[in-house]
Amino acid sequence: MNGDALRLTTSSVAATEAAAARLSARLRPGDLIALDGPLGAGKTVFVRGLAAGLGVDAAVVKSPTFVLHHVYGSPPRLHHLDLYRLGPGARIQMLDLDSLLESAPAAVEWAGYADLEPWHPLGLVIDIAGDQVRSIEARDPERAPARLIEAWRAAVVGP
């Protein structure tokens, strides 16, 4: 698999949101997007794009750092979790991810803090490459379901 086909560079917040919206067009309940990157890289911006692509008002998307979990849409269209406050080695059993994923796809910020492998996430790393420039790359694509890798590849290629 060509790594460049799984890497996207965006030049603005709007471009990052648009890439996420393209990805969300192919998401369904049970899908997990695992986001990592430094503070300020754009993980919540990416989730805003996912929500918008799923028909949710992107203005309601906030970092769930202090509450761990937000639900967007009714019925749920997207679950948004943030593991930052739990820290490395986070135990996420109390979040009951299995039940959440039954109703809608989920995006997890600071995903590297917990073992999400049992849910076969599409891991995306967002790095700061400039003032508004972001590099978004699939991490360990061989671990994600082929359908999610193809969805990300389509998002990278664009409209």
Q: DSSP per residue over 11-60, as a string?
A: SSHHHHHHHHHHHHTT--TT-EEEEE-STTSSHHHHHHHHHHHTT--GGG
Among candidate residues 9, 23, 44, the one with its CA nearest the CA of residue 121 = 23
Q: Indicate the pLDDT class of residue 2, thresholds 50, 70 and 90.
A: very low
Summarize the confidence of residues 125-135 as an average pLDDT.
95
Question: Over the stretch 69-116, which tens digit does the pLDDT of each residue have?
Answer: 899 998 889 999 998 887 787 788 878 899 999 999 999 999 999 999
The CATH number given to 3-154 is: 3.40.50.300
For the chain, the domains span 3-154
Indicate the pTM of the whole model: 0.92
Q: What is the pLDDT of residues 7-58, one digit of tens each?
A: 999 999 999 999 999 999 999 999 999 999 999 999 999 999 999 999 999 8
Helix 13-24 vs helix 43-53: crossing angle, to nearest 10: 50
Q: Which pLDDT belongs to residue 85?
A: 82
